[in-house]
Structure 1
């Protein structure tokens, strides 16, 4: 155990240097020579050579031939975790007050996919974003909500009138309210799953997606909305929705 801790400490030490991180980030684009590094990073050659030697010695990168370098399998895994840590550090002021622990482990380990996500602050601003998204949605909309919010009822009805496919996850106690709101609305393209508990809000389509997290005490925070219009971020949020759609025990009412 002591030796394992020593190894971990060494790896963390190697990742604590700004220039070594710049080298590793450059290698994510592919193999590079000393000249490539120098042109891309601007790191002086003596400093560059010293840090490359350290990274090779620690097994994080591999030297191929006499002058080419690439990430090792260990290095590739470490870079995935660094993306997660960068995301958490970037929004540390939010995560100090919001809960992420309920997320399935596979999604906690891929938070780096959200590295380019945007934060919309303010409840009204967040609601306006949601309405704007719903008004231009194409093909489908995936929704998970803890409560039925009035500003979103008409936009969702319009989605159904335009024959977009809608999937909705909501708490059991909202079932009768949902069915009442859908009276007189075309429902052939909506599927509704009622579950015991909803821990976060998700709205996602093919091009954009958003979510709201609970505060540490459990109340949903509509004043902080995470929003993505970038492929990896939208993909992560849609995958999370489908994880809940498939895994949460519940009752299909449509």
Structure 2
């Protein structure tokens, strides 16, 4: 079966949907006529996003790094014809030199950022194969492809997502499933504001100066926004020939 390019009428599952990029992606999908399944750890946050979308929304709590919870989620959603899977859930992890990072901290990052992608794909791709079509977009990061000081678990996990996705695309592409990764650059918002404040404390400057120095590395002189990331996921789904691709969206922060 040929790949579907229309979003309206399809069911899209978004992990990490309670805030940030997951919320923005879910809202964009709903606006385009998709039935949205919101998945995350915190019910109250998911309910708030569902209230923004409206009645035709499914909410399910799940720790995507937990195999039993993911299997239970798949059973819970067995009547939903999920044909778009957006693996967005992720954690930033510690900020420290590698030698100071505890093994359990490393495992926590890989548990959510990599194991969670594996478990969700393992659970939700088989029904797509049965129907002969589907789309998977795994959120990676440009930080997986460039040095990012004191962030080895995060950067390693995001590069792992890219490797997982490329190989998976070749496994299931012949079965009608397109798998791709989207690698955003730094996204404007509270997380980056905290980073700039920490950098200001470390260097004895101001948060505004830390931000200005940071965005000067970008071709567009700025960071990307949550809405731009959401728009990019939509654009990727409307490109029928896109498979095994890794798309950078960094406002020119990374060029390769």
| Structures share fold, TM-score greater than 0.5 | no
Q: Which has the bigger relative contact order, CA under 8 A and spacing at least 6?
A: 2
Bigger radius of gyration: 1
Q: TM-score, normalised by structure 2?
A: 0.32
Q: TM-score, normalised by structure 1?
A: 0.32
